[in-house]
Amino acid sequence: MAVLRSAVQIADDEAEPLTAEAAYDRSCRAALADSLIGTVGLEVETHLVDLGTVAAAVPWNRVEPAADLVRTVTDSSSVTVEPGGQLELSGSPAPHILTAVSEMRRDVTSARLALAPLGLGLAHAGADPLRPPRRVNPRPRYRAMEQHFAATGKAAAGLVMMNSTAALQVNLQAGPRQQWSERVARAYRLGPTLVALSASSPWLGGRDTGWKSARQQAWASLDSRACGPLPGYLTRAGVADPAGAWAKYALGAPVVLVSAGTDVAAVGRSVPFEQWAGGAVRLGGRLPTAADLDVHLTTLFPPVRLRGYLELRYLDMTAPRWWPAIAAITTTLMDDPVAADLASDVTEPAALLWTQAARSGLRDPVLADSARRCVEIAAPRVPAELATAVGDLADLIDAGRCPGDLLAERIAEVGPGAAFEELAHA
């Protein structure tokens, strides 16, 4: 869900057929908005858990009223439900990271207190360590996504991504136009280091995956045309025109679903949007409209998504002890000009280590060094009120460990069921 409202104004007729050229232009205009730097939006996803039967999925007839209840007690966040029943709290835009963290902490606490009398809890982890992936949300969009993944050979990864993963998302302004290229490149350059630093999903569906971030592994197993990095950011140089790179990416990505009257139909084969817009293929018996493109853009999940602002999607959800510090460090390394310049240098050796970050985390010496140095850069520049949380995380990072290592150790001690129950009660 969008948290920072884009300043981009797009006035195309959304019902008229859209050419490939018009689709490219509309995607460019939607990518980034000329803006000041500073406003922050946070999104927190958590696994909804039945405290009486933690190994069972919470059925939809309990999830829906639970979400409705949470909406009545959260002051600053909107509430949505992901396919597997995960609750997502999307904070209001805040003027700085301290306000964003404070408001989100309050809303998460309010949600926990409201859910407790219903016998429900919220578990903070990048992936569900116990329950098998299962869709409970009947929304047509999610049904169509599930069918598309199955039809295009991505059923297993799609099920995990949709139903068993949870993220901490940090949304930041695109900044002034002359800084767009630098800021998007920085968001990607920081990615592997922050993946390793935040990794908190070593177990998935009752088994040890052998990865520090099974969540990131699931995303990387999907179609790279829709879920991989933007072309150009797989090199150290980045690109001069990130809006154009986003538009090219969007048109090359396969269409997942198509509106069909009041319903939504899955696209059962791989059809890039540019083929639909160019007339080579007709989906739903017609050419696409601007409204179809807008929906298509919401089905793209690169590590950094451009929505008028920068949506950093690569952080695992972690326990309440850790996520405020991770959010503060991420924001500082992106938005504080001194920290940003220093971080750009120290993360350079790790900038392409996406797979190593998800698999090995801070066991990789390059990533461990990058993470330690990034935390050292950010720590003296975060708000004073968050310094203790950042110092606590710094101690963990200095020991070469990520939050997922603590979770794995606890699972080894008490088993995945008991550890998951502890997370839900935390």
Q: Which amino acid is at 140?
A: P
pLDDT for the residue 262: 82
Burial grade of 22 (CB within 10 A; 0-12, 13-18, 19 or more): middle
Predicted confidence (pLDDT) at residue 24 exceeds the cutoff of 50 = yes
Domains of the chain in sequence order: 20-425 (3.30.590.20)
pLDDT at 310 exceeding the cut of 60: yes
Which distant-in-sequence residues (6+ apart) come within 8 Å of 47 by Cβ?
A: 84, 85, 86, 122, 123, 124, 125, 128, 166, 423, 424
Distance CA 373, CA 342 (A): 9
Centre a 10 Å sphere on the Cβ of residue 399 and count the other Cβ atoms it contains: 11
Mean pLDDT for the chain overall: 95
**Which DSSP state fits 5?**
P
Reduce the DSSP state of residue 307 to 3 states and report it: coil
H helix and E strand count, the chain: 18, 11
Q: How far lies 283's CA from each of 264, 270, 274, 276, 288, in Å?
A: 12, 11, 12, 7, 8
Picking from 96, 82, 38, the residue whose alpha carbon sits closest to that of residue 310 is 38
Least confident of 117-131, 254-268, 396-410: 254-268
Q: Express each pLDDT in 185-242 by its tens digit.
A: 999 999 999 999 999 999 999 999 999 999 999 999 999 999 999 988 877 667 899 9
Tokens of 296: 């298509």
Per-residue pLDDT at 251:
98
Q: Residue 230 gets which letter from DSSP?
A: P
- Taking the model in full, what pTM does it have? 0.95
- Minimal CA–CA distance to 314: which of 175, 174, 217? 217
Instruction: Give the model's pLDDT for residue 10.
Output: 59
CA distance 308 to 355: 28
Over 70: is that where the pLDDT of 11 sits? no
Taking only the tens place, the pLDDT of each residue in 241-288 is: 999 999 999 999 999 999 988 889 999 999 999 999 999 999 999 999
The 3 state secondary structure assigned to 49-96 is EECCCCCCCCCHHHHHHHHHHHHHHCCCEEEEECCCCCEEEEECCECC
pLDDT per residue as tens digits for the range 177-199: 999 999 999 999 999 999 999 99
Tell me 133's DSSP state: P
Confidence of residue 395 (pLDDT cuts 50, 70, 90): very high
The band of 291, judged by pLDDT with boundaries at 50, 70 and 90, is: very high
402, burial (CB in 10 Å: exposed 0-12, middle 13-18, buried 19+): buried
